[in-house]
Each structure stands twice: as C-alpha cells, then as structure tokens.
Structure 1
Amino acid sequence: MTEVAVLRPALTRDADGIARVHVETWQSTYAGLVPTDYLARMTVARASAQWHRAAAQAEKGNDLMVAEVDEEIVGFVSFGPSRSKEQPYSGEVFALYITVDWQGQGLGRRLLATAFEALAKEGHRGAFVWVLAENPSRFFYQAMGGEHAGERMEKFAGVALEELAYGWPDLESWLAQSGV
C-alpha cells in the first residue's frame, strides 16, 4: 500500500469506523479461539454504541486514537490507567486492532508508540496489555519488546480462555529506542 495512515485522536464521528475494524478483526483473528456463535453475533451496529461512548469520552481527553487512510478508519488503539490490581504497571493498552489489509506495514508499531507516548505524558512509567494466549498477535507484542508479565484464565462467552500479559516497565526507554 502506498497510502500513509494518519494517526489522530478519535472523534464521535469515528465510532462506526472503529466498530467496523473491531468486528472485522475479531471475526478474522479470533476464529477458532473464541466461541463461533459469539463471533457470528458480532455486528457493527451492536459494537457501534460502545465505540460512540468511548469516542465521546476520548473527545474529553480519554485515550482512543485512530489510524485513517482517505477518511476510512483502518486501525485504532485504546489505552489508559491500568484496570488490573495484579499488574505492577500503571498504564494499560486495552485494545489495538488493525484491519487485515493494513497489518504487517508498521501501523501497529505506530499506534503502540502513540499510546506509550500519551501514557508516559500522563505520568505512567510502564504499561502492559492482555492478549489471548492462542492469538498470533502475541508475537507482535513480543517483537515490540513486551516482557512476559503474567497469565490468567478469563471466562469469555461461557468458555475459560488463557490470557498472557506483556509489559513494558520503562516507556521512556522504549520510546527512545523504538525509533518511531
């Protein structure tokens, strides 16, 4: 692809595009990992309400960034203060998704760096992300220097799934070394 994705804060008008990326990436990435009936029930219309709320909060200063090409959302990252008591990191990446057509082109690295920059500016020294243990995207987080930071079993759609945590204890150092 020759186009360049623009990264910017999410706006409420982006909610449907974010929902589309969310649903498409879940249905392609998590096929065979989470219950099929759950994935089949996912729709942009259902996910859109959640992302409208998140984007409205983002406009007030919460943390949701999108990647867009020619006014089309092709990826997003959601992040903020940690929701986990068991992790020593004060920042957390909640979601990072990129459409299949844009994967493998450096956009994930750019979105992760954007999240880390914002978290560091907010005073978070370190950050982490939870990822399904069987999700091939875990290799992305390893390649980005994420250290194994734990595991847990989470009940999802009636099934217990193993999740792995990857952590970055020093965001400033990572940003200085990443060259993004």
Structure 2
Amino acid sequence: MDLTLRPATVDDAEAMTVMHVQAWRESYGHLLPPEFFAKQEAALPDRIERYRASISAGHPRMLAHDPDGELVGIAASGPGRDEDSPCDLELFMLYTLQRIHGRGVGQALLDALLGDGPAYLWVLDDNPRAQAFYRRNGFVPDGKRQLCDPSWYSLPEHRMVRPGVGL
C-alpha cells in the first residue's frame, strides 16, 4: 500500500483521537460493551487536548496516511514504564483501521518506531491478530500478566518482549 509516514503535530490531535477510538471499536468491539465506546466518544474533546499536550511535551506519535491523505494508522513508543522493564523501549500503541489490515501499514509503523532493536509491549489476551503480528516481528510472551484498568473492564493482558531482530 502506498502510504505516508510522518511524526504527528499538535494539529493532528483531533484526527488522531477520532481514528484511535474508531480503531478501538473495530479491534475491541467484541470485548467491551457499547457504554465503553460511548464514554470514549463523549470524552473526545478532553482526549484531543491530552494528545496536543503530549505532543507539545515531546512525546511523539507516528502517523500513517493512505494515498488520499486519510489517517489510517497511529503508533507511539518511548522509554519503558514498567518497574521491571525488560529493555529500555516500550511500544505504547499501534493501531490501524480494519480496512487496511494486511497491507503493511502496521509493519511500516512498527519499523519506523522500533527499527530492529529490543522492545516490549502489552497486548490483550483476547487479541490473537495483534499477537500473531508481534510474534512475526520477534516478540514473545515473557510470562508477565496483569489486568487492565477498571475503565477497560479489567481485561487481561500480557507482556511480549523482543530481544532485537537478528540478535
């Protein structure tokens, strides 16, 4: 797929927020009740401001746009937040719209953010598509598990770690 990757600017915050919630609905609609998504949509103005503040503070997000300029993917990484971080770099999020799954957009975002180096991430237990994608990229579960925040209905998730491609 012909796409454009670029770092997000504060001007992208609204499109990012809308796309992010749409991707959640597509990815997690079978796991979370309609009330969850209604709450997320009601909180869009606050979330847009949080994205603007985060980008302004130097916490970058990478964006993928399709040939028509529509935002179809977002991703972010940074210093690991876990007390027992298995490495320095954490993939915080990677979301693409369902209509472009399998076209290399997620791979392009992952490569742009992580390169071939060591990294880790958290993934929902009931997200086999994402888990398969991460396994193809060298990530394996390390045995660490937790429950999401109650606002996410305490869904179970586990950590996956990649020592580095070819290392």
Report the TM range for the smaller structure's normalisation: 0.7 to 0.9
Please tell me whether the aligned partners of residues 23 and 98 of structure 2 are also in contact (alpha carbons under 8 angstroms): yes
Q: 1:25 to 1:89 in 2, by over 3 A?
A: same
Q: 1:162 to 1:73 in 2, by over 3 A?
A: same
Task: Give the SS at the match of 1:25.
Answer: helix
Q: 1:63 is matched by which residue type in structure 2? A: P
Which of 99, 102, 106 is 2:100 aligned to?
102
Task: Give the SS at the match of 1:34.
Answer: coil
Please tell me whether the aligned partners of residues 26 and 97 of structure 2 are also in contact (alpha carbons under 8 angstroms): no
Q: How many residues align?
A: 163
State the TM-score, normalized to the length of structure 1.
0.79
Q: Structure 1 stretches of 5 or more lacking a match?
A: none
Which residue in 1 is equivalent to 2:121? 129
Q: CA RMSD in A?
A: 2.2
Please say if 1:140 is aligned against 2:138. Answer: no
Which residue in 2 is equivalent to 1:68? 65
Please tell me whether the aligned partners of residues 15 and 52 of structure 1 are also in contact (alpha carbons under 8 angstroms): yes
CA distance in 1, matches of 2:159, 2:152: 21
Please tell me whether the aligned partners of residues 65 and 76 of structure 1 are also in contact (alpha carbons under 8 angstroms): yes
Q: 1:48 to 1:102 in 2, by over 3 A?
A: farther
Please tell me whether the aligned partners of residues 119 and 163 of structure 2 are also in contact (alpha carbons under 8 angstroms): yes
Q: Structure 2 stretches of 5 or more lacking a match?
A: none
Which of 28, 31, 42 is 1:30 aligned to?
28
Q: 1:160 to 1:56 in 2, by over 3 A?
A: closer
CA distance in 2, matches of 1:48, 1:68: 22
Q: 1:51 to 1:115 in 2, by over 3 A?
A: farther
Q: 1:65 is matched by which residue type in structure 2? A: M
CA distance in 2, matches of 1:103, 1:29: 11
State the TM-score, normalized to the length of structure 2.
0.85
